Amino acid sequence: MKVCLLSSGSIGNAIVIESEYDSILIDCGLSFKKFLELMDQTGLDPGKLKHVLVTHEHTDHSKSVGVCGRKLGLGIWATKGTEEAMYQKKVLREKDAEINIIKKYEQYEVAGFTITPFPLSHDASEPVGFVVERDDKKVVYLTDTGYVSRDVMDAVKDADLYMMEMNHNVEMLHMCERPWSVKQRILSDDGHLSNEDGAYVLSKVIGENTKHVFLSHISQDANLPELAMMTLKDVLKERNVDLSKLNLHLTYPMQPSNIVEL
């Protein structure tokens, strides 16, 4: 498998996971034009895309899901709650292809990948993260949640690669110019993981197979990539995680990440 975060952050998210013959997309919160532009920058082939998995309906994750489905002929996979919310937001049209409805903790075969959705705690309609498996490799996408349950931690343990939310530094969030109501939302159990929270979750789930971690959904006004990285390293060291075995990758909005091959 090859994994690339085309964009990560509150202005747009899109992740490509590619095999030798086919690839899948997780979310598309970019304009379709920008999505194709970023794909071109990576050298990944949009013609190999077969399906798009949707975590939730917020615009930074769903903006071009319907367009991608129509123009690239992709199957769309989402929970019932997310499907209904995307229709309400007019991300999807009534004439679009029938949505493949998914349920938490059930496995699905999608273009040769085994997909397992797991529940997130976020102010959206039935949001999920994803475990993606193929050829004995396991990839986890876990962002946009204010809380991670023990059941979810058990479901995502010992992946080869994690895309983990490290959204904000709490002090920077308090000091930034966002409205207090927005700050309260972000800090709540239905909001986003802080650097410390994301690092703690990683320290609990990293295993012998884990080789790569992408620090994801980093806030542009309540965090710094370098601060998120420093916090992650500090927490992992405190919890006796061997950093020498890990490749840690920063991610940015509208800027493709490194392409990691598993």
Q: Which residues face 26 on adjacent strands?
A: 15, 53
Q: Are 232 and 215 in contact (CB under 8 A)?
A: yes
- Condensed to tens digits (0 to 9), the pLDDT of residues 77-89 reads 999 999 999 999 9
Q: Are 16 and 3 in contact (CB under 8 A)?
A: yes
Q: What does the pLDDT read at residue 196?
A: 97
Number of structural domains found in the chain: 1
Which stretches of the chain drop beneath a pLDDT of 50?
Answer: none
CA distance 119 to 64: 23
Q: What is the sign, positive or negative, of the torsion defined by CA atoms of 155, 156, 160, 161? A: positive
Q: Which domain holds residue 151?
A: 2-261
Q: Are 208 and 244 in contact (CB under 8 A)?
A: no
Do the strands 108-110 and 113-119 form a parallel or antiparallel pair, or are they unpaired?
A: antiparallel
Residue with tokens 């390293």: 233
CA distance 56 to 241: 32
- Condensed to tens digits (0 to 9), the pLDDT of residues 157-204 reads 999 999 999 999 999 999 999 999 999 999 999 999 999 999 999 999
Q: What does the pLDDT read at residue 236?
A: 97
Taking the chain, what is the end-to-end CA distance rounded to the nearest angstrom? 5
Q: Could you write out the three-class secondary structure of 215-248?
A: EECCCCCCCCHHHHHHHHHHHHHHCCCCHHHCEE
CA distance 82 to 84: 5
Calculated CA dihedral for residues 31, 225, 209, 243, nearest 10 degrees: 170
- Strand locations in 35-179 (E): 49-53, 75-78, 100-101, 108-110, 113-119, 128-134, 137-142, 161-165
Q: Where are the alpha helices (DSSP H) in 65-131?
A: 65-72, 80-88
Which residue type is seen at 132? V
Which CATH number belongs to the domain containing residue 195 in this structure?
A: 3.60.15.10
Q: What is the pTM of this model?
A: 0.96
Residues in the chain: 262
Q: Which residues face 114 on adjacent strands?
A: 109, 133
